[in-house]
Structure 1
Amino acid sequence: MQQIYNPDERINIELFLAARELPNLEFLSKSDPYLELYYSLQGEPEICLGKTETAECNLDPNWEKSFTIEYYPDLIQILRFQIFDQNRMGREFMGEAQITIKDILQSKNSLISIPIKRFDKSAGQLLCKAVQMKQSNHFVQWQFSGSNIKNMDGIFGKSDPFLKFYLHSDNVWCQIYQTEYIKDDLNPTWKEFEISLQRLCLNDEYKKFKIECLDRHEKGKNNQLIGSFETSIDEIFNQNKEEFSLVQPKGGQVGTIRIKNKKRIYRANFDDYIKQGTTFNLIIGIDYSTHNGVPSFPDSLHSYIDQNNKYGKVISDLAQVLEKYNQKKLFAIYGIGAEPHLTNYTLNTYQTLFPLTGDFQKPQVEGYQEVANLYKNTLKQIVVKGDFQIEDYIKYIQTIAENNAGKLIYTICVIIGQGKITDAQVFQDLLIKGCKLPYSLIFVGMGKNDFSEVKNIIDKMNNQQPPIRNNFTFYEYKEQTIQMLSKHLMIDIPQHLVSYKQ
């Protein structure tokens, strides 16, 4: 089987953010700024990647929240930053800035200062530091404790200590992890946690990382540095050092930090599973419900006019990307919700699931071009009819996946459809029930629907308690290039497979 994915070819950057000299929008105190990050490819819709925590009473914040983004050297990736003051009435706009990822990476040490504008007036500077992160198989799991930590709160209290961990990159210390704080305790023990060696030291066992111990003040305002030290994975695991002196900025010991438990962990990645012999089933389901429009009309998503037919392009592009996952390039193609009049197919009434080949025993065709031809050649043999019901398709997929559980066979299935799902609750229940099965489900949204039902299902899966594996991905089709579609799938499918294996 050809190589379809190489972690070393992907360039992930982690973006660390700070601001200086922000405008103060408060009268009796200082503003409480937070940042929202928006991302877009040139010519495509903008999406929000999330927001930082609020830095209370701080016009020069160093936000702890960082953002991980995959960098594509051949594409223009635009980042827009908006900063707001969080107050009792809601929020107030403090300013914004914009830059491309390439501009950040081409700056000295991948660190750049960008002017912030508020209604066309200067509003400080935004500092962006980018660190390139490769996928890591190596992790450490450990637990830290402290003893005789210096009391920073005087005779009427005790320090509330917590730890911060920093990666050293291009002469810049970047915060990568923070423990919980322990209330009124000079001999604290923090919770065990896990971190990758890539994030900690860029996979270099001899590279120093820094640990700071701080005293937390009310609401996290003006936290006070107690002391710090630097060490390395080599020192901790190869030289077996487990005790470190906390040294304050002006010198002098202010306590001791110990490592109570430690172990190294290796986790296989997607490429490892491919080398072990994992193979893939490829299945595509196409929505023919009436919500797509009548094919004889030019505005139908299934229009008989080739240049107006949105499904035809998406099916061809998807199959062209996915065929790399199957050595024989075989696809099983099914229609969802229509009245088929196919050759050798005797059921000419409304069907919730039917093979486009007309034969349930031979539903496959070879190669993306044959997938595209099968869709095009059968379009006039299918009467668009009824609602979009997914239950039978999902049950069929899950039956295949269940039969392959324990084998080196993984199923990749796609739904291409508009988002008006008649049986959304049943769909959701089936996804949750089958979340541990060896398959990925990719929903490609067509048309101008808001796709709220699909997005709600993803939210429900992500918020299950206890947490469950989410093997369901949604893309809203926006005339994307095949290169972008490939990038998306090469991220999500490996994550789904690894989450199943682990």
Structure 2
Amino acid sequence: MSNIYESAEATLGFISSPCLTKVELRVACRGISDRDALSKPDPCVVLKVQSHGQWFEVDRTEVIRSSSGPVFSKIFLVDYYFEEVQRLRFELHDISSGNNGLREADFLGAMECTLGQIVSQRKLTKALLKQGNTAGKSSIMVTAEELSGNDDYVELSFSARKLDDKDFFSKSDPFLEIFRLNDDGTESLVHRTETVMNNLSPVWKSFKVSLNTLCSGDHDRDLKVAIDFTASNGDPRNSCSLHYIHPYQPNEYLKALVAVGEICQDYDSDKMFPAFGFGALIPPDFKVSHDFAVNFDEDNPECAGIQGVVEAYQNCLPKIQLYGPTNIAPIIQKVASSASEEMHTKEAMEYFILLILTDGVITDMADTREAIVHASHLPMSVIIVGVGNADFTDMQILDGDDGILRSPKGEPVLRDIVQFVPFKDFKHASPAALAKSVLAEVPNQVVDYYNAKGIKPKCMSDYESTRTLGP
């Protein structure tokens, strides 16, 4: 089963698109050991990005002399695309004095992750892996700060005079650290200047800092999956079926699921995804259901990661009978119920994304329109991927791009929350292109909802009071 998942996952490639926003990355390390027992290392971190399966260096930090717990002043500014999987690699090198190249440097370890993981967690700490992927005692911390397009900046300059030095025979090697005082009384590092060697009256380089650094945050995006198990998909045992499980090639349902899920899972805090099915006769009494748990655990329909959803889907197929009709209002209403409960909580920080994978024309259009109009008032978005070659005209109506969707009673949607994409338009493209298309509108939908409710992002200190960048 994992071969199918890995096959679909491997097709996710690097696709350039207009930059959604920019992100500042700050790096610190802890517990660095050095091959030379008589001295501490001179660490430097190199940032690389993966494109078409290859790693390319994009930037590197300064070298900090004689430090086993460096906090680098260099800030990596990277373009951030919510709808893409952006794979990053942080390499730590020990660069000897007088040599700034990497050829003669000692490799101390590396950490790989996605930019989405850093942005969603705000602060990512992982062990540095050495040659052979063995983990040592050292770790790297990467902190992210999202910058909006209209960020305000302030330029800061610092100097000092007549510093005292305890060493009578030499002057100080001073550097300056600037901290932000959080609401709970803890401190978070904002900037670390360069070290000015042998100087009692240093003048440090000026630097710009975003005012958003004072307060930033995000909302947890909760992905829920709904899969069409109606008879129009064809017998899963037949190779012509849209649900046919090939030993090594993912079908269209799996390709769409992995393409979108790979993006969304970075923004889900617990990486557990409820998966539902509709339009099938299910055990034990084999009555038709339009909102059953794919893992058959109605009390806990969550699956561990996107791979868990894939495995639940494959295990489910032999146990059900594909039937009909194609009703999607019940699953929208189920997710809307969860979103309504979240809306009435004090913090209301969870936003729901419902991914519906379907092959046919829906048969409960009036109820679906009513459900979408109601859901447009809630913290949720609906993504519909049309699988197969059916007539998806009604789906375009639900999308609302050509006009305002209304309920059967004439009530308009409060905001556009539906995005429909036919999978056949992406058959010859990378699944990453599909993910970009279906997720492109989600960030604005999230922002529109919270702006309309007057809910501001959390301050970084609200996430974890003990999160500081320093070692």
Q: Which has the higher strand share?
A: 1
Query: Smaller-chain TM-score range?
Result: 0.3 to 0.5
Radius of gyration: which is bigger?
1
TM-score with structure 1 setting the length: 0.44
